[in-house]
Amino acid sequence: MRVLRQAPERAEASVALTIGNFDGVHLGHRTMLKRLVEVARSKNLLAAVMTFEPQPQEFFAPDQAPARLASLREKLELLDAFGVDTVFVCRFDYRMAQISANDFVERIVHRALGTRWLLVGDDFRFGSRRSGNFDLLMSLAPRYGYEVEATRSILYQGARVSSTAVRARLEAGDLDGAAALLGRRYSICGRVERGDGIGTGLGYPTANVRLNRLKAPLAGIFVVEVEGLCDRALPGVASLGVRPTVTSRGRAVLEVHLFDFKRDIYGRRVTVRFLSKLRDEAKFAGVDELVLQMDRDAARAREYFRARDVSLNMNVQAGGRETR
């Protein structure tokens, strides 16, 4: 997959295009991407996605912008997995924010990207003050020689699937609900970096995983599994939060304690998959009380994996197949 950090002055090839933030690449996004690639192949066009960095809400109100579900790198990897040929990562700034809807279509959709087929969500808005919509795209299609199609919202249990809905599930600790909307377990990818050694001193050495985002969409203590260190996912328990008992810095940190694992993994890029929430983060009276709770958390996490393995084995013996 080709990634361009800005749109060219003039298109190099004709594309089938979709536009959006695609944060988390949830079930609704997946439906759009499958349709995009299908049409692109049938029309001999490149399947292209246009997205923005930073996301518009982060530009206009960074302190109030929602937590990202995925870093830019994670998003690009997810898009690549769907067979997208080109991603235009366009800088969102004052200049981009001030482009009128008509100019956006003429200068970017038509001239810069060479769009011949355009797919948008049914609530898609664009241009200065979000003045552009599907009706405008339809009215301009004959002039600029593209076809346009809108996808209907994907519903889950009667509600619209959206990045906002995924965040709400994660914030509430409903990891199964978030997984249903995403089509996979929620995960965070990042490199393991050196921490302050507090976990090791407490008897729970941790891998400190760089978050690569201003804030995370979930917090607490979790049962997790980690990929990227060997040929299988490794079980563990993780803390994602500000660690109020041991520090007053207030910066969110993702720390993962891997069970029965002792290797130097600094600098390795890993994927932390969140399986179950054990509890919210809490401030304890002292380190001894914290360690006792960590013992209980680790025991509950180990029991989670034991129960899952028993269920998996029973399913295999019955001739079934587990899906995750």
Cα separation, 269 vs 253, in Å, equals 16
Q: Which of 272, 259, 258, 260 is closest to 212 using CA atoms?
A: 272
Q: Which residue has 């400190």 as its token pair? A: 208
**What's the one-letter identity of residue 194?**
R
Pairing status of strand 86-91 against strand 220-227:
unpaired
Task: Give the containing element (helix H, strand E) for 225.
Answer: strand 220-227
pLDDT of residue 204: 87
On the question of a common fold for 2-159 and 185-317, the answer reads no
pLDDT of residue 198: 74
Class of residue 143 by CB neighbours under 10 A (exposed 0-12, middle 13-18, buried 19+): exposed
Half-sphere exposure of 82 (CA within 13 A, CB side): 25
CATH of 185-317, one of 3.40.1010.10, 3.30.930.20, 2.40.30.30, 3.20.20.70: 2.40.30.30
| Average pLDDT along the chain, 324 residues, taken 10 residues at a time | 93 96 96 98 98 91 92 96 97 93 97 97 91 96 97 91 97 97 97 83 88 90 96 95 66 92 92 97 87 95 90 57 42
Asked: is 2-159 a CATH 3.40.50.1000 domain? The reply is no
This prediction's pTM: 0.89
* Rounded alpha-carbon distances, angstroms, from residue 238 to 166, 169, 226, 228: 20, 18, 10, 16
Pairing status of strand 269-279 against strand 187-193:
antiparallel
The radius of gyration computed from the CA coordinates of the chain, to the nearest angstrom, equals 22
Hey, what are 258's tokens?
């891997």
Phi then psi for residue 192, to 5 deg, are -80, 125
For the chain, the structural domain boundaries read 2-159, 185-317
Q: Which residue has 């179950």 as its token pair? A: 276
Neighbour tally for 43: CB within 10 Å: 13
Given a contact cutoff of 8 angstroms between Cβ atoms, the answer to whether 17 and 119 are in contact is yes
Question: What residues form DSSP beta bridges with 209?
Answer: 192, 254
Class of residue 275 by CB neighbours under 10 A (exposed 0-12, middle 13-18, buried 19+): buried
* Rounded alpha-carbon distances, angstroms, from residue 11 to 46, 88, 115, 136, 154: 12, 12, 9, 22, 32
Q: Three-state SS for 69?
A: coil
